[in-house]
């Protein structure tokens, strides 16, 4: 599955989901839902799917997509519509998109990126720490001349 097919699946599923939530539930016009879906689809595919998902795991990419979806839907609804309680509407739509994104990331990891590990629990850049051991410079068992100088 190439990127064009993946972004088409993402766009159509997001359009259907957002139209059910924003259009049917909250009465937003289809044109506004289409613009929000188009913007959200392109931005979340580039940032969430190609950038974050490649470097982290599905859980982190899904959480990042939730924040991104909430922000984009809320800002665009404020710009395109005049209504009350736009944040709650955006929150419900973002939760719906996030549930879809969780399963879409699994599809992306296996089909587009070629990974079979969709829920890896490690970061690709794992830091390896070592313990440093050294001898003390001052002998504390002998006479303590430093404490006599301080007094």
Structure-derived torsion over alpha carbons of residues 80, 83, 87, 93, reported in degrees to the nearest 10: -70
Q: What are the extents of the domains in the chain?
A: 3-112
Which pTM does this prediction carry?
Answer: 0.70
pLDDT at 126: 59
pLDDT at 67: 95
Tally of CB atoms within 10 A around 59: 13
Instruction: Give the chain's count of helices (H) and strands (E).
Output: 6, 0
The series of mean pLDDT values per 10 residues for the chain, 151 residues long, is: 84 96 92 95 90 88 94 94 87 95 87 59 59 71 57 56
Half-sphere exposure of 92 (CA within 13 A, CB side): 14
pLDDT at 36: 96
């Amino acid at each position: 599955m190439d990127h064009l097919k993946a972004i088409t699946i993402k766009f159509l599923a997001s359009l259907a989901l957002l139209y059910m939530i924003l259009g049917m539930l909250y009465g937003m016009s289809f044109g506004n839902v289409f613009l929000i879906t188009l913007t959200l689809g392109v931005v979340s595919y580039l940032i969430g799917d190609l950038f974050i998902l490649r470097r982290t795991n599905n859980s982190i990419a899904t959480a990042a997509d939730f924040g991104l979806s909430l922000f984009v839907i809320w800002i665009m609804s404020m710009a395109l519509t005049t209504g009350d309680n736009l944040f709650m509407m955006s929150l419900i739509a973002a939760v719906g998109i996030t549930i879809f994104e969780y399963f879409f990331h699994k599809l992306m990891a296996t089909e587009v990126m070629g990974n079979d590990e969709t829920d890896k629990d490690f970061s690709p850049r794992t830091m390896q720490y070592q313990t440093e051991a050294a001898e003390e410079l001052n002998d504390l068992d002998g006479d303590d001349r430093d404490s006599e100088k301080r007094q």
